[in-house]
Amino acid sequence: MKLMIASKNKHKIKEIRELLEIEGLEILSALDFPDIPDVVEDKTTIEGNAIKKAREIADFTGLLTMADDTGLFVKALQGAPGVYSARYAGEDAIDSDNRIKLLNALQNVDERQAYFQTVIALADPQNLIGTVDGRVEGEITREEMGSTGFGYDAIFRAAETGKTFGQMAGAAKNKISHRGRALRNFIPLIKSVLVEK
C-alpha cells in the first residue's frame, strides 16, 4: 500500500520515514509529485490545517494521505505563535527569522512556559479517516542552544530532558518530541487501514 506524506519539508519527511517503517507500506511525499499544488493553510487551528491538507492532497493524488500541522504555543504570548508558527515572522520567513522574533517578543519576560503540538490527519480520496496528536511541554530559552534540528528546536527546552531539541540527536528527540508522539499514535490508525485493505 502507498501512503502519501503531504509535505515538501525534507526534515519532516525524514523524521516520518524513520518512525513509520511498516511492512507493506510504501511511503511517498509531495517531493515525488512536481506538479502538486500548495495547500493554503487558512484554518484557525492546527487540526483544521492538517485535515485540509490531507483531504486536498488525497483528492489530487488519489492516494491514502497523511498530513500534519504543528504549532508552538507560548503561554506568555497567549498561545502565539500557535497556528502561525511556520510563518510567525512573515509569509517568506525562514526558521531563524521566526526564532529571532520569538526571542525578541520574550526579551523581558520571565514566564517562558511553552508546548509543541502536532496533529496528524489521515484521509483517502473519499473521506477523512481520523486524526491523532502529540504534545511535549517545555520552555523557551533566552538564546539559541544547539545546532541540530530545524524550526524552533534551538530555543525550545524540553521539560523531560532539560535540553533544547537543538542539543539532542535525532533518535533522542524522536522519543519525546511532539511529532514522534503523534507518529506513534498514528501507527495503530494506519495499521487498521492496512488490515482493512
The span from the CA of 51 to the CA of 111, in Å, is 32
What would the pLDDT profile of 14-24 be if each residue is shown by its tens digit?
A: 878 887 888 88
The CATH classification of domain 2-196, taken from the options 3.40.50.720, 3.30.200.20, 3.40.50.620, 3.90.950.10: 3.90.950.10
Mean pLDDT of all residues in 11-15:
82
Which residues are known to be catalytic? Answer: 69
Q: Exposure of 147 by Cβ count < 10 A (0-12 exposed, 13-18 middle, 19+ buried)?
A: exposed
The span from the CA of 56 to the CA of 39, in Å, is 7
- Single out the residue of 137, 135, 140 nearest to residue 105, CA to CA: 140
The span from the CA of 52 to the CA of 147, in Å, is 32
How far CA 63 is from CA of 46, 100, 152, 156, in Å, comes to 22, 38, 31, 35
- In this prediction, residue 77 carries a pLDDT of 98
- In this prediction, residue 197 carries a pLDDT of 63
The span from the CA of 195 to the CA of 197, in Å, is 6
Residue 196 has pLDDT above 80, yes or no: no
3-state secondary structure of 93: coil
Residue 108 has pLDDT above 80, yes or no: yes
- Single out the residue of 137, 188, 183 nearest to residue 161, CA to CA: 137
Q: What is the percent of the chain where pLDDT is above 90?
A: 80
Residue position matching grid coordinates 520569538: 102
What would the pLDDT profile of 63-107 be if each residue is shown by its tens digit?
A: 999 999 999 999 999 999 999 999 999 999 999 999 999 999 999
The span from the CA of 186 to the CA of 162, in Å, is 27
Q: What is the chain's mean pLDDT, rounded?
A: 93
Mean pLDDT of all residues in 17-35:
88
What would the pLDDT profile of 140-172 be if each residue is shown by its tens digit?
A: 999 999 998 889 999 999 999 999 999 998 788
